[in-house]
Amino acid sequence: MLKLDVTIDTKSGFCFGVEYAIEIAEDILREDGELYCLGDIVHNDMEVSRLQEMGLKIIEHKDLKKLTGVKVLIRAHGEPPSTYEIAVNNNITLIDASCPVVLKLQNRIKKSHDKKEKIYIYGEHGHPEVKGLVGQTKKEAVIFQNINELDFSKLPSNITLYTQTTKSKDKFYEIIEKLKKEGIEVLIHDTLCRQVSNRDTQLQEFSTNFDKVLFVSGTKSSNGSVLYNVCKSHNKESYFVSSSNEIQKEWFNKNEKVGVCGATSTPMWLMKEVKEKLLEY
């Protein structure tokens, strides 16, 4: 027996936006036994599978146009205006579980667009939240996930800068400094979700308290990728796993202290499952 001392980070797990969306889905599934969801309700395959067993049906945008008279959940990431238009035309009841932080951001971007501002969004290409944000600008906003994607010689002298809610705070402010050094006037909108960005600091401290760290997250999670790198930079003995099946006993030595943490899309039950597996060693 390795007799590992395992601690779960109590501040890890679902953010309130994801938790709210899942609670709504569970309530409807218990009552109706069926609910459509536009895209994965959360970027965690294990949690999606659990809800699918309850009757959740994951659909894509192309499928939405073929449906009529059903209930469709909008997940925490939010949706562009075109989704709401399709729902009205097809007599679809939308269950809107968009995160309040995302909805507020969508509204701010729409107001900026109405003022004819040059909008740039620091975000992941193709991310569902970003698609919803760009939709507020009739797809005119410029998306970039790396400052190197921008050609400074062709940038307007004045830009309005937003960020996807789950991006790194440090990276966002590095980008602002680089833009300013190039002589570009930036109207800054720090639209990071503080519940998410504060986890950056929390995990810096958490990860240093253990011999090894297991970061539990789905591979599709943008937030998971960011937070895992935070752990890795503060504790080189950090490992990324999507489930308890991916854990390798060889990673650990006898009597080591092991920390288990996760993304804002990682369910607490999954982190507990990882802890139980570790205790079996």
Kindly list the domain boundaries of the chain, sorted by start residue. Answer: 5-13+195-280, 16-98, 101-192
Cβ pair 188, 221 in contact under 8 A:
no
Distance separating alpha carbons of residues 96 and 257, to the nearest angstrom: 42
First-to-last alpha carbon distance for the chain, in angstroms, is 6
Question: Do 16-98 and 101-192 agree at the fold level?
Answer: no
Give the three-state DSSP class for 36. strand
The two tokens of residue 22 are 């899942």
Could you say which of 19, 26, 60, 129 is catalytic?
A: 129
Which architecture characterizes domain 101-192 according to CATH?
Answer: 3-Layer(aba) Sandwich (3.40)
Q: What is the mean pLDDT of the chain?
A: 95
Pick the CATH number of 5-13+195-280 from 3.40.50.300, 3.40.50.2300, 3.40.1010.20, 3.40.1050.10: 3.40.1010.20
Active-site annotation holds for 53 = no
Asked whether the predicted pLDDT for residue 135 surpasses 90, the reply is yes
Q: What is the pTM of this model?
A: 0.88
How far is 230 from 163, CA to CA, in rounded Å?
A: 19
Instruction: Report H helices in the chain.
Output: 16-32, 45-54, 61-64, 81-89, 100-114, 128-135, 169-181, 194-207, 222-234, 268-280
Report the CATH architecture of 16-98. 3-Layer(aba) Sandwich (3.40)
**Strand partners of residue 279:** none
Average pLDDT on 94-106 reads: 96
Q: What is the pLDDT of residue 180?
A: 95
pLDDT the model gives residue 237: 97
CA 63, 126, 97 angle in degrees (round to 5)? 60
206 Cα distance to chain centroid: 20
Percentage of the chain with pLDDT > 70? 100
The predicted model gives 266-270 an average pLDDT of 97
Give the rounded percent of residues in the chain with a pLDDT score beyond 90. 92
